[in-house]
């Protein structure tokens, strides 16, 4: 049902909630959670909607040890920048019994259908912890089509579900939507691991359109291209390698460092100082993202 140890995550989140809400609020959450766990599905809908009024919307306080423990339980799960109501809503979802697959899926789908913006953020953020991961692929692709910024970010950024579950077409749609809507690409989990030739070709076409319109291109765009540089794409890399913009030049060299295409390797070798910095980890895609902000 679950792709990780859900009981361990519930226990860890419970400890976090106890330290972030009042005793009265924790008693309320626990009562609702026990009722939901006992099979009273209507209480999930009621509690999910009422949560912010009970918990407030302050940022959750976490120790570095708690962050690491959560990631050790559910790989790549990061709640560091979440609000306390968002964490509480995920905790409530985890109280829902998963033994009956149809009832479980229907109950959560009903929440999606009636959700307002912040509820959608909590629901999409919780996709990685839900039971029956394969059941949420369509819902995830629906999230990619959403045009509300915060909802889009909850699907795209710091969310391990898409890279683990989407097929290539849906994954490419996510990356391209992030480009078009100027979301922080460096926060997309799996951005390099899920790179593919079709996406690289589409990004190259997108770059040409931007250049033709005399518009700039985000350097992180090339993060999904490096492994797939070929004769058609290489001129794009050459262009940014000789850019007046130092960040674009670094992006070109990072892309070349990921490539097995001989001209790309030769171009990198012509820049030995930058090659050395890349090998030492002093130039990385994440550090490049910090410069570009």
Within a domain: 208: yes
User: What is the per-residue pLDDT for 290?
Assistant: 87
Tell me: pLDDT of 292 over 90. no
Per-residue CA distances from 107 to 20, 93, 101, 247 (Å): 27, 10, 10, 47
**Range of 232's domain?**
195-293
Within a domain: 118: no
Within a domain: 290: yes
Within a domain: 200: yes
Tell me: pLDDT of 129 over 80. yes
Instruction: Say what the pTM is.
Output: 0.94
Structure tokens at 119: 């509820």
| Short-list 194, 63, 41, CA closest to 107 | 41
- Identify the H or E element spanning 132: none
Within a domain: 127: no
pLDDT digits (tens, 9 = 90+) for 167-189: 999 999 999 999 999 999 999 99
Within a domain: 161: no
Domain count within the chain: 1
Overall average pLDDT of the 190-195 stretch: 96
Overall average pLDDT of the 208-231 stretch: 95
Overall average pLDDT of the 35-59 stretch: 96
Tell me: pLDDT of 81 over 70. yes
User: What is the per-residue pLDDT for 293?
Assistant: 58
Overall average pLDDT of the 158-171 stretch: 98
Tell me: pLDDT of 239 over 80. yes
């Amino acid at each position: 049902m679950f792709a990780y140890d859900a009981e361990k995550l519930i226990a860890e989140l419970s400890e976090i909630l106890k330290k972030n809400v009042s005793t009265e609020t924790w008693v309320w959450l626990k009562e609702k959670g026990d009722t939901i766990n006992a099979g009273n599905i209507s209480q999930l809908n009621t509690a999910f909607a009422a949560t912010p009024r009970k918990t407030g919307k302050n940022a959750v306080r976490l120790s570095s040890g708690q962050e690491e423990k959560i990631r050790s339980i559910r790989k790549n799960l990061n709640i560091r920048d979440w609000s306390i109501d968002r964490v509480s809503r995920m905790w409530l979802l985890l109280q829902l019994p998963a033994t009956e697959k149809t009832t479980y899926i229907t109950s959560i789908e009903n929440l999606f259908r009636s959700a307002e913006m912040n509820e959608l953020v909590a629901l999409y953020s919780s996709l990685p912890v839900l039971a029956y991961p394969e059941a949420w692929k369509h819902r995830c692709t629906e999230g990619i089509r959403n045009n509300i910024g915060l909802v889009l970010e909850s699907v795209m950024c710091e969310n391990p579900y898409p890279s683990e579950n989407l097929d290539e077409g849906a994954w490419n749609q996510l990356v391209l939507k992030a480009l078009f809507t100027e979301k922080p690409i460096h926060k997309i989990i799996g951005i390099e691991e899920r790179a593919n030739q079709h996406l690289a070709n589409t990004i190259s076409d997108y770059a040409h359109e931007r250049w033709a319109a005399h518009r700039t291109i985000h350097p992180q765009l090339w993060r999904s291209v490096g492994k797939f540089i070929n004769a058609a794409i290489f001129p794009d890399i050459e262009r940014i390698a000789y850019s007046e913009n130092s960040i674009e030049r670094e992006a070109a060299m990072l892309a070349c460092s990921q490539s097995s295409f001989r001209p790309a390797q030769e171009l990198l070798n012509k820049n030995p100082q930058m090659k050395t910095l890349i090998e030492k980890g002093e130039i990385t895609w994440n550090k490049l993202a910090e410069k570009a902000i």
